[in-house]
Structure 1
Amino acid sequence: MRIIQLSDLHFGTEVPDVLAALLQSCHRLAPDLILLSGDLTQRARRHEFDACRKLVKALPQVPVLAVPGNHDLPLFNVWHRFRAPYAGFRRVFGHRLDPVIETASTLVVGVNTTDPRRHVDGAFDQQMVERVSELLRTSRAAFKVVVGHHPVDAVLLSDERNIARGAEDAVRAWTAAGMQLYLAGHIHYPFFAPLSGRYAGVPGDAWTLQAGTAISSRTRDGKPNSFNLILSDDTGVELQRWDYSAQQKGFQEAGSVQLPLGVSGA
């Protein structure tokens, strides 16, 4: 299974050269599945969602699973924010905010960590934790992934405040139910790390993978635009980060890690 994770596209702030390079890389890498982990638009405006829809149509024609980010809810239109906060997102990606894709080898569960009452912060509520735990527990897939927008871990002190409320309860419940990988975005700072580094006692083979911003000008801390590639087969899982090089006008593999996961079925 080849999975590409794109996050924090922030259409409305996209860089055309980076967008073109991203499309080239996605077609060259030939994924089986594409995951969009939120903040697909900058201000949840119709033309921004239309641009995102155009990107999805231009990507390899494989299943796409998308979850909303806090920027995908209207900020200045208060009526829409509280009466129809996800209308724009649903117009492009359908009604569900918590989509699920399952194959013989892989389960991917989307979670909506946003809340119209909060402009930035995310949360995992108890109902979500229980629902996802049941899906993980009952799935026969060997590789089990959860994807949301808000992170459950951070490497910079300034990002500690961005860890979603309820993250520890979610991580402990989901890893106990079989989750091996949690994907997120939001902070525009890519990294991968074992979840046991923050949450003592969780299985050592459970990791988190953070994506940078794929095409937006809103990069931070010297990190370039980036996306993630996840490769899984019966020997294990490899996580790769692909960074944009302005010099080369394209994305190149910038780092990888082999996970101690025994998954079967490619």
Structure 2
Amino acid sequence: MTIAHISDLHFGRIADSGVVEALLDEINAAGIDLVAVSGDLTQRARPAEYRAARNLLDALGPPTLVVAGNHDVYPWWRPLKRLRTPLERYKQFITEDLAPTFEAGGVAALGLTSAYGPSIKGGRIGPADRAAMRAFFSGTGDDRFKVLVVHHQLHPTAIGPISPHPVARQAQQTLAVAGEVGIDLILCGHLHISAIQPLEIIPGTPRIVVASAGTATSNRWREPTGPINFYNVVSVEPEAFSVEERRYVPDEGRFVRDGVTRFDHAG
């Protein structure tokens, strides 16, 4: 089972004229089983940006699981819309399902929407979201590889000048539930850096791996990695799983392997 994890596309701030096509071509040719998109499809939630994002999703061959990011809500200069119907355009162009699921090939994946109107860039996972986590993952069976997809970070990523950085509100409670229901992997974005780290949420319990994808297509790079575009490929095997970081090379118009991190299944 293979999952392509792309994040922070930011249509409206595309980095290179060929990066979107290169991403599509590679994913569609790679035998990917699922594309997980962890938010910020647009830069300012404009209709034209959403149409471009919709076109990308429609051009992908594999099934997709998509969640919204903070840039996908109405911008700050539309305060009433931002507060009352923050994800109206996201629902119009992308999906009305704010907690999408996927089950196939021994994998069970759930997406949660951490973006909300009152915050400019922060995120939140509320009690209803955690109830959805419990309900979905508790019913999938212990033999499934369990994946949570969310835009905002649930745990600090200690990388260079971006550390420390805020995490989503109620992140600690959410991680506790993730540990309870046996989540193996959390796919997220938001920071525009590529980072992979195992977490021991509760001492003595199986660890959870957090894989943060860099910005796949935009020029909103972050040090220490920028100016580079990244996405991840997760390969799930019977005894282990791996996260491969793939980096875009503008001069060659293609993505190349940047590194692979392998983990035995927790248990």
Is the structural similarity TM-score above 0.5? Answer: yes
2:101 maps to: 100
The 5-angstrom pairing of residues 192-207 of structure 1 reads: 192-196=196-200, 199-201=201-203, 203-207=205-209
| Contact persistence 2:207–2:266 (CA under 8 A) | no
2:181 maps to: 177
2:132 maps to: 131
CA 202–228 in structure 1, closer or farther in 2 if over 3 Å, else same: farther
Separation of aligned partners in 1, 2:100 and 2:39? 13
2:218 maps to: 216
The 5-angstrom pairing of residues 1-266 of structure 1 reads: 1-14=1-14, 15-60=16-61, 62-75=62-75, 76-103=77-104, 105-140=106-141, 142-153=144-155, 154-156=157-159, 158-196=162-200, 199-201=201-203, 203-221=205-223, 222-223=225-226, 224-261=228-265
Give % identity: 28
| Contact persistence 1:205–1:260 (CA under 8 A) | no
1:39 Cα deviation from its structure 2 partner? 0.3
Work out the number of aligned pairs and report it.
260
If the length of structure 2 is used for normalisation, what is the TM-score? 0.92
SS in 2 for 1:122: coil
Separation of aligned partners in 2, 1:40 and 1:160? 25
1:262 Cα deviation from its structure 2 partner? 6.6
Q: Mind listing any 5+ residue stretches in structure 2 that lack a counterpart?
A: none
Q: Mind listing any 5+ residue stretches in structure 1 that lack a counterpart?
A: none
1:204 Cα deviation from its structure 2 partner? 4.1
Q: CA RMSD in A?
A: 1.7
Separation of aligned partners in 1, 2:213 and 2:229? 9
Write out per-residue CA displacement over residues 220-250 of structure 1, whole angstroms, 9 at most, x where no aligned residue. Answer: 1133100010111212211111011123221
The more displaced of 44-53 and 241-250 is 241-250
Separation of aligned partners in 2, 1:36 and 1:145? 13
Separation of aligned partners in 2, 1:74 and 1:169? 27
| Contact persistence 2:239–2:264 (CA under 8 A) | no
| Contact persistence 1:134–1:177 (CA under 8 A) | no
SS in 2 for 1:85: coil
CA 104–228 in structure 1, closer or farther in 2 if over 3 Å, else same: closer
The more displaced of 130-139 and 114-123 is 130-139
1:183 Cα deviation from its structure 2 partner? 0.8
